[in-house]
Structure 1
């Protein structure tokens, strides 16, 4: 069995220290095959927050891929947001949007953040044509028979959680990825876990969301997902700090 730990929305600067340490212990004890981090490593994209996030991710000692979340782009410094939005990510460059190939599973990144949008709330999701085409090219290169998991920050469509993503071009991206062969889309942003089977284009795609390891909890306590893969089938188990596990 292959095991992936899917974690999101750690929000260094507002992290739950006990939850962070708990997750680190579980990684060391159980040695998952990879860790998929679907964005919002930081709270305000400050250098000190990225430094803490980098130290934490490096300490896990497992293959890691990291998506960029809306909180990881400078918010108050517009010059940095538009001109050098990823400058403070430098220590994490080797993890950012890194495709992973883990025992017959391809993890393909999809960028859903934008420096600017023609709406007031730039925290919501946005899939550009370029980002989608880059992801589709990676999907096309996956060996036949492998599972394909897309890793993004924002849910491409709403999942019935209290928080929303309102991802522009998300439904179209989901349809294109499903047609190309994606089996699941792993996301964060809404701070509550879910695993929903969604029919699109005659195929079933699983929409899997991770909770948060921050103080900014919504309906559920701090958690991460464990994705257990056996051959071509897989299941998601939400693991809650201090409250056990629940199959989604």
Structure 2
């Protein structure tokens, strides 16, 4: 069995120190095969936030892949940096960023959903450009035959009823094309509440799986991460909460994506 810890929206600068320590302990004690971090490592993309977040990620006792979230790009306080070199403060984590992971029977494919500029007022919302989507589709095509394909980005491709929204431009097209390529799930964050919702496109079902937050910026649920277990052509999602109800199973699906 492959076990993944899916964590998101840690927001160093507004982090929950106790929740971070709890997650570190879970990684050290349970030894997951990998940690998937789906963005918003920082609160305001400050250098000190990246330094603290990078040190935390590098100290985890597991392989890590990291997506860039909208909070990880400078905003109005550094407009030149946002447009000319928006990811420079991520340099210490360069080997982890958008890192494709190949595990026995599982392929984790990165998909960038952030943009330095958009033709709308709210740039915190998601956007999938064609270049990033083509790269993800190429990596899916190159994955070993029969693998479970998990795509990792920051924003949900389509909104699934959580209080927070992503309103991802190009998300519907990306979802249809990922379904056509045989992706089994899309892992994301951004909305700060966990979910696992099946959506069907072209007769193929893809699970939209969102992680909660390990920051002080909680919404409907306490600090949480997801545990994803993949075995024998099936995968299951557990919400792991920093609360009196530590494990909440929310779904199980066959790996074959035919619509139920």
For Structure 1 versus Structure 2, the TM-score category normalised by the shorter chain is over 0.9
2: CA distance, partners of 1:201 / 1:151: 21
Alignment of 1:200-239 (within 5 A): 200-239=201-240
Partner residue, 1:8: 8
Match of 2:24 in 1: 24
The equivalent of 2:162 in structure 1 is 161
Which residue matches 1:130? 131
Specify the alignment match of 2:53 in structure 1. 53
Between Structure 1 and Structure 2, how many residues are aligned? 248
Q: Which runs of structure 2 are paired with 1:58-137 in the superposition (5 Å)?
A: 58-75=58-75, 76-137=77-138
Q: Structure 1: 5+ residue runs without aligned partners? A: none
Deviation per CA, 1:142-164: give whole Å up to 9, x if none.
01100100000000000110000
Alignment partner of 1:247 is 2:249: yes
Q: Which residue of 2 aligns with 1:170?
A: 171
Distance 1:198 1:130 in 2: 24
Segments of structure 2 that go 5 or more residues without pairing to the other structure are 251-260
- Which deviations, in whole Å up to 9, do the C-alpha atoms of 1:13-42 show, x marking residues without a partner? 000000000000000000000000000000
Cα distance in 1, alignment partners of residues 19 and 10 from structure 2: 9
Kindly state the Cα deviation for residue 232 of structure 1 after the two structures are TM-superposed.
1.1
1:122-172, CA deviations, whole angstroms, 9 ceiling, x for partnerless residues? 000000011101111111100110010000000000011000000001010
2:205 aligns to what SS in structure 1? strand
Deviation at 1:242, TM superposition (A): 2.2
How far apart, in 1, do the equivalents of 2:167 and 2:91 lie? 29
Give 1:197's aligned residue.
Answer: 198
> Which runs of structure 1 show a deviation greater than 4 angstroms over 4 or more consecutive aligned residues?
none
Q: Secondary structure in 2 aligned to 1:97?
A: coil
Look up the SS of the partner of 1:153 in the other structure: coil
- Residue 61 of structure 1: how far off its partner (Å): 2.2
RMSD of the TM alignment (CA)? 0.6
CA distance in 1, matches of 2:14, 2:225: 17
Following superposition, the deviation at residue 197 of structure 1 comes to 1.1
Q: Secondary structure at the match of 2:59?
A: helix
Give deviations 1:66-113, integer Å, cap 9, x for gaps: 000000001121100000111100100000000001111000000000
Q: Secondary structure at the match of 1:60?
A: coil
